[in-house]
């Protein structure tokens, strides 16, 4: 009967442990080297990228020209001016009503003479 020599078993286990540790806890992983593309392949890729950039530039130009022709929220200056005039008129009418003056007259003064009417109101209010 062959007996197992404890020294042989220990050396075998030590070698297996060293191999396992080197495989699992390797400080530098071993990767396969990446194949380098040929210069012709690189040129083709650069040309494809240039084409894509050109197409995207054209799309940007089209979109920017559309936004100049048809803005998403057009602002009509007449409407905004009318809104401001109405607000001035409402402010003047409110002040006139609180001071027992003719609210309708002050509404129209505020709507027509905007800033001048408000300055007159501020002067009258201070006296």
> Is the distance from CB of 97 to CB of 127 less than 8 angstroms?
no
How far is 127 from 125, CA to CA, in rounded Å? Answer: 6
Say whether pTM exceeds 0.75.
Answer: no
Tell me the per-residue pLDDT of 90-120, one tens digit each, with 9 for 90 and over: 988 998 898 888 999 989 888 888 888 888 8
Question: Any idea where the domains of the chain sit in the sequence?
Answer: 77-126
Tell me the per-residue pLDDT of 17-70, one tens digit each, with 9 for 90 and over: 666 665 555 555 566 677 888 888 889 999 998 999 999 888 888 877 776 666
Tell me the per-residue pLDDT of 66-83, one tens digit each, with 9 for 90 and over: 766 665 555 566 667 778
In the chain, the N- to C-terminal Cα span, in Å, equals 127
């Amino acid at each position: 009967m062959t007996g197992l020599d404890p020294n042989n078993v220990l050396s075998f286990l030590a070698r297996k442990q060293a191999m396992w540790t080197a495989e699992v806890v390797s400080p530098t992983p071993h990767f396969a080297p990446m194949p380098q593309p040929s210069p012709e392949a690189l040129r083709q890729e650069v040309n494809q990228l240039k084409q894509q950039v050109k197409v995207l530039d054209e799309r940007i130009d089209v979109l920017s020209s559309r936004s100049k022709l048809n803005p998403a929220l057009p602002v009509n200056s007449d409407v905004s001016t009318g809104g401001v005039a109405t607000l001035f008129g409402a402010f003047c009418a409110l002040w006139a009503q609180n001071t027992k003056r003719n609210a309708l007259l002050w509404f129209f003064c505020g709507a027509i003479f905007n800033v001048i009417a408000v300055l007159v109101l501020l002067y009258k209010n201070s006296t």
